[in-house]
Chain A
């Protein structure tokens, strides 16, 4: 599923990032396949989303979030 399809509070592992430049950009920030992320905020009116990873909260626009494929963690209630 896509990062953007997660609900607030959901945890997920990143599987793949589609856009080349965006993937490199995120990689430099330490976000890559295998990184555990938590969706924290969604801005109103389909605005940006914010997710946390390690000790950081990062916001990106929705269309960029649609380039990030994730696998939702099922084990937490």
Chain B
């Protein structure tokens, strides 16, 4: 049987969902739209039923794409999507609002269970609910009290569900459609007025409110203060970034070392050959390349979930909304965009909270322009190569200033492109920013843990496949080439004095360089040389550009291979080696203008397979990632060309 979970926002709906389903959750999309559909399995009397978490709404009549899902679920959705039974979660402190949605759903003829949640908080506020009076009013529907945050009332809910399920088995109630058409605004308004009248009567009979002291807003005033509010927000972000950068690297290193160890083990047992190469050099590094993102995703979502669950996030959104609105962004875009400065993947995944479709798409689109941590190795290598170590005005490090400039360029470009998109994209309907600012709550570890778990699962299962497939293709293109050309190149390498005079490690490096040069990617790199020449790159840099499409930091490793930096060459050695590389005409390969052109290229270029895969997953179409790939590629080229011409 299909059971749908309805409720207003901030009623503890997701706590109840987590309580009922635990880890048995599945994330997908509602048919045809990009609205996330969370479903899970709930056992009632040993029978498994599907529980669907419906977006939190105040009314079944929608005001945006996300809320329309609820309306369509009840009205026009395919028959197998229609729920057989509904749970409505109402906040005990705001019962009348919950009853509004509840009464709408009753009129749709859907069998229901009404959960009155967070009764403990309501009692503290002096609100007491007369359950007998309420049960008398809605005699066909089981009504139960719950306190889902501490797990209270789960048994009551399960037995209420079982009661309704048993009844449904014997008699089939027909879902009648009392729904008003979406365009009938005045009809909806009139109906809402009537409903409020009735609910007002019900509230009078069944809810008593004692005289209470009003809620204190001192903390809210500080958190949204024009000076302290921003300082507190900056401090919180600072702490999060410290955690991401100082703690994520340990598990990331562990994952990579673990997989290297695994590769060695398998290489020992398998005989050399294409199969061993495919497994050890293609598939395993590919899997490692997917899993290595997990620590950053986990840490960022731990903090985002913590901010959300405690109630702080709503204050930050309130504080930031005005600052980002001119760029077509929402206050809710701020945390995803700032997260993207660690990694665009969790950033894109965090846009789920943006209620407006257009604002969400803009946020997803520009997120990869925020300079992520994978660009740091590229930038530090290039800055070390071409920017002199000197101080401006006696105390400003020029190299540091350039790095800061690259970050600023990324942020400014993101805002500029957001603004352009804001002008170009059409809004399907006038949107309203209506956000409840919830009361502060002690965060619930179960909710936070499940959020982290869910995000990791979505990334590995839904984006991981695409990333793995393309990284294997890239590996194959880099490791294979026309065999005749390759053996001829190796033969001629072995005749050179350089090869003969060097030791074993150096020889191996030279062979690897020749092999990469004569691989399919190498041929491609040479092929694009006429295109990248105007922006200052030779074919060797071209090869590194193509291989680093998998991930930006691969650029450094590829340069190391192509310039025969030996098997284990350190980065310092690589830097020295690159500094001395000369073009055939005697000029430096890594001149100032080539270096700056490359840095700007990496600010813009969509050189991240994993981000493309997650954007595809989050927007449910290839349109947006392809648009990013093409337009950011164009900007990268243009920016590189301008810099190469200027310097």
10 inter-chain pairs at a CB distance below 8 angstroms, sorted by A residue, are A30-B196, A44-B229, A45-B322, A45-B323, A48-B331, A50-B220, A57-B215, A57-B437, A60-B434, A61-B433
Is A29 a contact partner of B58 (Cβ separation < 8 A)? yes
Tell whether A24 pairs with B94 under 8 Å between CB atoms, given A32-B196, A41-B224, A61-B433: no
Q: Would you list which residues of chain A between 61 and 75 have a CB under 8 Å from chain B? A: 61, 64
- Partner pick for A55 among B125, B217, B221, B314, CB 8 A cutoff: B125
Docked complex: B581-621 residues within 8 A CB-CB of A: none
B500 interface residue (CB < 8 Å to A): no
Interface residues of B in 184-232 (CB under 8 A from A): 185, 188-189, 192-193, 196, 214-215, 217, 220-221, 224-226, 229-230
Whether A1 sits at the interface, judged by CB under 8 Å, is no
Chain B nearest CB from A18 CB (Å) reads 13
Given known contacts A25-B63, A61-B433, A30 and B97 CB-to-CB distance under 8 angstroms: yes
Q: Write out the residue numbers on chain A whose beta carbons fall within 8 Å of the beta carbon of B436.
A: 56-59
Contact of B185 with A40 in the complex, beta carbons under 8 Å? no
The CA-CA distance from A36 to B94 in the complex, in Å, is 15
Interface size class of B (residues with CB under 8 A): 35 or more
B437 contacts across to A, CB distance below 8 A: 41, 50, 57-59
**B contact residues around A41 at 8 Å (CB):** 217, 220-221, 224, 318, 437
Contact A28:B319 (CB < 8 A) given known A23-B189, A48-B433: no
Contact B318 A47 (CB under 8 A): yes
Interface: B61 (CB within 8 A): yes
Cβ–Cβ contact A28 & B61, under 8 A: yes
B224 and A43 within 8 A (CB):
yes
Residues of B in contact with A (beta carbons under 8 Å apart)? 58-59, 61, 63, 93-94, 96-97, 100, 125, 127, 185, 188-189, 192-193, 196, 214-215, 217, 220-221, 224-226, 229-230, 314, 318-319, 321-323, 331, 430, 432-439
Q: With A and B bound together, what is the CA distance between A61 and B93 in angstroms?
A: 25
Question: Are A47 and B97 in contact, with the CB atoms below 8 A?
Answer: no
Question: How many interface residues does A have (CB within 8 Å)?
Answer: 32
Q: How far is the CB of A6 from chain B (nearest CB, A)?
A: 14
Closest CB in chain A relative to B381 CB, distance in Å? 40
Contact of A44 among B61, B224, B432, B433 (CB under 8 A): B224
Q: Provide the residues of chain B in CB contact with A40, threshold 8 Å.
A: 217, 220
A54 and B94 contact, CB distance less than 8 A: yes
Q: Find chain A residues with CB under 8 A from B93 CB.
A: 55
The answer to the question of A21 belonging to the interface, with a C-beta cut-off of 8 Å to chain B, is yes
Other 17 A-B pairs with CB < 8 A, given A50-B318, A56-B97: A21-B185, A21-B430, A24-B61, A25-B432, A27-B192, A27-B196, A41-B318, A44-B319, A47-B321, A48-B331, A48-B435, A50-B437, A57-B436, A58-B434, A59-B433, A59-B434, A64-B433
Is A44 a contact of B434 with CB atoms below 8 Å?
A: no
A52 at the interface (CB under 8 A from B): yes
Residue of A nearest to B125 (CB): A55
* Contact assessment for B59 and A28 in the assembled complex, using a CB-CB cutoff below 8 Å: yes
Min CB–CB distance B547 → chain A (angstroms): 46
CB <8 Å contact, B319 and A24: no
**Do A48 and B321 form a contact, CB below 8 Å, given A60-B434, A64-B432?**
yes
Contacts of B331 in A (CB 8 A): 48
Shortest Cβ distance from B580 into chain A, in angstroms?
53
Give per-residue flags for A9-45: 1 if the beta carbon is below 8 A from chain B beta carbons, else 0: 0000000000011111111111010000010110111
Whether the pair A24, B192 counts as a contact (CB closer than 8 A) is yes
Closest 7 CB pairs of A and B: A47-B322, A28-B59, A44-B226, A55-B93, A57-B437, A27-B192, A29-B58
Question: Which residue, B93, B94, B127, B434, has most C-beta atoms of chain A within 10 A?
Answer: B434
CA distance A60 to B58 in the complex (A): 16
Complex Cα spacing A58 to B58, Å: 13
Q: How far is the CA of A61 from the CA of B185 in the complex (A)?
A: 22
Inter-chain contact A59/B435, CB cutoff 8 Å: yes
Q: Give chain A residues whose Cβ lies under 8 Å from the Cβ of B438.
A: 57
B185, A20: Cβ atoms under 8 Å? yes
Residue among B192, B321, B438 with the highest chain A CB neighbour number at 10 A: B192
Bound-state CA distance A29–B193 (Å) is 11
A56 cross-chain contacts in B, Cβ below 8 A:
94, 97, 436
CA distance A24 to B187 in the complex (A): 10
For B125, B331, B438, the residue with the greatest tally of chain A CB atoms inside 10 Å of its CB is B331
Q: How far is the CA of A43 from the CA of B220 in the complex (A)?
A: 11
Compute how far the CA of A44 lies from the CA of B318 in the bound complex, rounded to whole angstroms: 9
Given A24-B185, A57-B437; A30-B322 close (CB under 8 Å): no
Nearest-Cβ distance from residue A5 to partner chain B, whole angstroms: 18
Contacts of B321 in A (CB 8 A): 43, 47-48, 61
A29 to B430, CA, bound (A): 18
Which residues on the B side are within 8 Å of A43 (C-beta)?
A: 224, 318-319, 321-322
**Contact A52 B215, beta carbon cutoff 8 Å:** yes
Cβ of A48 and Cβ of B322 under 8 Å apart? yes
Report chain A residues within 8 Å CB of B96: 30, 54
Determine how close the nearest CB of chain A comes to the CB of B108; give it in whole angstroms: 15
Please name the residue on chain B nearest to A30 by beta carbon.
B97
Tell me the bound Cα distance from A74 to B325 in angstroms: 35
A44 to B228, CA, bound (A): 11
